[in-house]
Structures are given as structure tokens and as C-alpha cells.
Amino acid sequence: MSSKNKASVGLENIASFAEKIKLLGTIFIRLVQMIIAPLVFSTLVVGIAKMGDMKMVGRVGGKAMAWFISASLISLLLGMVLVNFFAPGKGTTIKLDDTSSASELVENSKGFSLEEFVKHVIPKSLFEALATNEILQIVIFSILFGVALAAFSKKEAKPVLKLLDTVSHVVLKMVTYIMWTAPLGVLGAVASAIAKHGFEVFTLYAKYLGAFFVGILALWVILLTVGYLILGKRLFVLLERIKSPLLIAFSTTSSEAVFPKMVEELERFGCQPKIVSFTLPLGYSFNLDGSMMYMTFASIFIAQVYGIDMSLGEQLTMLLVLMLTSKGVAGVPRASLIVVVATCAMFGIPPEGIALILPIDHFCDMARSMTNVLGNALSTAAIDKWESKSEEQHG
């Protein structure tokens, strides 16, 4: 056999190996996609209905939501600006799949109109939305369902709430099982990428992580500056108090794992228990600053890798979509990945691209979980201070 033939056989073998081992990544991605709809529906409905007493959602709720929306928008915008500035995904030859399947969707997205957007947002049928993983439509239905359920008396709503609460816990348990397969998904994704593209893939990871950590650092500077303006020197006391929750979140990559400890430490810091018990759970659904920044960053990075140029309008629309869709899966390990997969599919970006960032997602998750904890501690302490002032004025 000539050396030319040997080379071509070798290339065929490599291509065949890359194709087969990539299946591990494909299985993981499909498992993640499978749980998106039930997870969003059950957690969001339970979260809204458990707020229950709508009288509570008054002055404190208004202040909390104003903080959460502002912080989320700043985080999302920061991610969008930095990923465009550093462009870590541009100029690479690495692709995890053929983009031809997405080209039609990309063409269609160029004719994006208000009518199309409304049709995309408002569900025609819940079952159609669940079957096609239209996450935004599921969010809209879940919000309406949750608000309607909260309007019933506790006794009437209890059976439905208990059922959905159980469903959400079952799905969260499924998330735990699926995350056990993540190392295999990572193995498949990395082995396939290296077999096809050599070690260029590590240059891409270095660029990606470098740009992301600059973003996290910038976000910490913004959050601590705002915290200092509101709390003054008490900010340093707060940081001392939440040192342990920050480290736990960093090592477990779950901001929810530190919830009980956070309640304890914030009350020790001097926050009123009623403010903590209302604002902190709300923050876990609506105020995940690190995750928000990561989501625009990762989604646009995948678009860059596939050579999909998104206009400013499309990027801002994506930002608003992420603002809504991220609310349903708060506190779940790797929830950001689930949201990124769903959002990419919505904007014609191949969701397979998520396999490219899987290998290094753990490092990103450590940083964003820690940032989520900081954001929630600051928001609770700030709202407590404002409430104490208004109670003094009214008292």
C-alpha cells in the first residue's frame, strides 16, 4: 500500500473515530434538551405560586424586582459587550457539526418582524410548545398559570402545588443523574474535537476562559462599587460574613447549596428575618448575575465559532429572551447550559456548539456560582437598609 493510500485510510479512521466518539456528547446534549420543558414549567409555576400572598409583593417586592432587573440587564449587557470586544470564537476553523441545517433558520431570522416575534412569544398550544421546546412560550404559560394558581385559596391550590412541587423535585433529581453523564459528554466532545482539529482547540479555550474571567472581574467591580455606595464600610462586614458561602458555591458550583447558610449569615449581619426570607428566595429565581453574564457570552461565542454574524438588533433580542428564559431554571447546577442550548436553537445557532464549551464549563460555573451568591447577598442587604429607612420615616 502506498504512503498516499495509508494516509487516506488513516484520515478515514480518524474521521470515523471522531464521528463515533462524538455520540457521547450528542447523548448528553439530547438528555439536557429532554428536561428543559418540564423543568421550566414546574419550577416557575411553583416559584410564583409559593410567593402566594400577593400582599407581600408590595413595597419590598417592587424594590427587589427593580434591583434584579437592573442587575440582570447590566450583567447581560456586560457579557454581550465583552464577547464582541474580545471575539474569542472568531477566526477558528473548529466546528463540531455541519451548519447547513441551521442556514435556513439563519436566513429566516433575518426577516425578523414584530409580528413574527409576537407569534414566537405567545403559545398557540402548551403541548406544541412543550413538544418543540419553545422555552419562551413555556415561560409565558407558566407565569400565567402560576399567577392564576396563587389567586386561589391555599387549601384549593394545595393539591396542584404539591403535584408540581413533586414534579419539579423529580426533574431536579433527573438533572443530577444527567449531570453524572457530563464527563462522558465532555470526553466525547474533546476527543472528537482533538481528533478532527488537533490541539488548536486549546488555544480557543484559553481565549474563551481569559475573556470570561475578565468579564467576571468587571462584574465584581461593578457589584462591589454599588454595594459600597449603598452600605458604606458595612460592605466589608458583609463580605466577611459571606466568605464561607462564597467558598462553598465556588467548590460545589451550585449557588443553591449555600442557601441555608446565606439566610443564617445575612441575619447575623443584621438583616431583618422577614426581609431575608422574602428577598433571598426571590433572588435565587431572578437575580443570578454571574449566570446572566455567562449566557450572553456563551451564546454569542458559539455563534462566532460557527461564523454566524448576529446584528445588534438580534443580539439585543437575544438578551431580552435570555432575561425571560433564565428565570425558570434558577439554582439548578449547569442551568445556564440548559438555557444556552434552548436560546441557541431559537436564534438559528447550532445547539451542538454547546459541546465545545462543555469541557471548560466547570471552571466557568465555579466563577458564576460565586458571583450569584455575592449578587444575592448585596441585594438582600441593600433592600433591608432601604426598608429600615422607610420604616423609620413612617414610624
Sequence spans of domains, the chain:
53-123+181-394
- Cell numbers for 161, please give them: 402545588
pLDDT score recorded for residue 7: 57
Q: Which residues of 270-298 are buried (b: 16+ CB within 10 A; e: fewer)?
A: ebbeebbebbbbbbbbbbbbbbbbbbbbb
pLDDT score recorded for residue 85: 94
What percentage of residues in the chain have a pLDDT greater than 90? 25
pLDDT score recorded for residue 209: 92
Mean pLDDT, range 134-153, rounded to an integer: 80
Between CA 296 and CA 76 the distance in angstroms is 6
pLDDT score recorded for residue 327: 60
Pick the more confident residue, 23 or 86.
86
pLDDT score recorded for residue 109: 39
At residue 368, what is the residue type? R
Instruction: Sort 233 into a burial class: Cβ within 10 Å, 0-12 / 13-18 / 19+.
Output: exposed
Mean pLDDT, range 260-271, rounded to an integer: 88
pLDDT score recorded for residue 101: 37
Contact indicator for 193, 93 with CB cutoff of 8 Å: no
CATH 1.10.3860.10 fits 53-123+181-394, yes or no: yes
Q: Residue 319 pLDDT more than 80?
A: yes
Q: For every residue of the chain, which 3-state class applies, written as one string?
A: CCHHHHHHHHHHHHHHHHHHHHHHHHHHHHHHHHHHHHHHHHHHHHHHHHHCCCCCCCHHHHHHHHHHHHHHHHHHHHHHHHHHHHCCCCCCCCCCCCCHHHHHHHHHHHCCCHHHHHHHHCCCCHHHHHHCCCHHHHHHHHHHHHHHHHHCCHHHHHHHHHHHHHHHHHHHHHHHHHHHCHHHHHHHHHHHHHHHHCCHHHHHHHHHHHHHHHHHHHHHHHHHHHHHHHHCCHHHHHHHHCHHHHHHHHHHCCCHHHHHHHHHHHHHHCCCHHHHHHHHHHHHHHCCHHHHHHHHHHHHHHHHHCCCCCCHHHHHHHHHHHHHHHHHHCCCCCHHHHHHHHHHHHCCCCHHHHHHHHHHHHHHHHHHHHHHHHHHHHHHHHHHHHHHHHHHHHC
Say which range, 3-12, 176-185, 245-254, has the weakest mean pLDDT.
Answer: 3-12
Whole-number average pLDDT of the chain: 79
| Highest mean pLDDT (candidates 70-79, 127-136, 167-176, 273-282) | 70-79
Between CA 260 and CA 283 the distance in angstroms is 14
Pick the more confident residue, 47 or 77.
77
Mean pLDDT, range 298-314, rounded to an integer: 91
Neighbours of 74 (CB within 10 A): 17
